[in-house]
């Protein structure tokens, strides 16, 4: 082993919490650590690199199954990268769908806030719209895509 890091040091170097590192070991995303004579977990540079890969992929929104597939692909450097490309394209589509949904939510919330006349709660459009989905323009969260007159 090139360097011997404790789990605390691995956590600090990678930015991943200790309990998450243990979880990744438990589910097989990280190899089981070597142990010191005092039974302390010890990690090397390869484990830091692997953990940083996992963290970066998580930061980009990849789920654990996709990351597991990418790690397996990374273990076969001579294989074609078409499958890795497909995994990344699938993630990109998911992100684009989320952006579309968030844009719709932003539009609806903006409309809701602009319709507020800052009077009494009994006349509050925010409360009215949230109370009745028929008042909502955004279908993605239950609206009927029309406005009551």
The domain ranges of the chain are 1-79, 88-149
99-129: b or e for each residue (b if 16 or more CB lie within 10 Å)? eeeeebeeebeeebeeeeeeeeeeebbeeeb
Cβ atoms of 5 and 44 closer than 8 Å: yes
43: how many CB neighbours lie within 10 A of its CB?
Answer: 25
Average pLDDT over residues 92-102: 96
Average pLDDT on 84-95 reads 96
pLDDT of residue 77: 87
How confident is residue 18, by pLDDT bands cut at 50, 70 and 90? very high
Asked whether the predicted pLDDT for residue 114 surpasses 60, the reply is: yes
Of 63, 111, 66, whose CA–CA distance to 85 is shortest? 66
- Which CATH code for domain 1-79? 1.10.1660.10
Question: Which pLDDT score is estimated for 32?
Answer: 86
Distance CA 26, CA 94 (A): 28
Position 149 scores a pLDDT of 39
**Cβ atoms 39, 33 nearer than 8 A:** no
9: which 2 tokens? 């040091």
For the beta carbon of residue 60, count every other beta carbon within 10 angstroms: 13
Overall pTM > 0.75: no
Look at 1-15, 37-51, 120-134 and tell me which has the smallest mean pLDDT: 120-134
Please report, rounded to a whole number, the percentage of residues in the chain having pLDDT higher than 90: 54
Q: How far is CA 141 from CA 73, 106, 109, in A?
A: 37, 12, 12
């Amino acid at each position: 082993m090139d360097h011997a890091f404790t789990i605390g040091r691995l956590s600090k170097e990678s930015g991943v919490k200790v309990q998450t590192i243990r979880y990744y070991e438990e589910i097989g995303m990280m190899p089981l650590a070597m142990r010191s004579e005092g039974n302390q977990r010890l990690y090397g540079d390869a484990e830091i690199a692997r953990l940083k890969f996992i963290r970066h992929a998580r930061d980009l929104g990849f789920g654990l199954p996709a990351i597991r597939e990418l790690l397996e692909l990374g273990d076969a450097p001579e294989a074609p990268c078409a499958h890795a490309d497909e995994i990344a394209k699938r993630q990109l589509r998911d992100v684009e769908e989320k952006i579309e949904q968030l844009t719709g939510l932003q539009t609806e919330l903006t409309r809701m806030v602009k319709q507020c006349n800052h009077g009494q709660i009994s006349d509050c459009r925010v409360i009215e719209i949230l109370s009745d989905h028929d008042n909502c323009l955004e279908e993605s969260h239950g609206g009927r895509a029309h406005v009551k007159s």
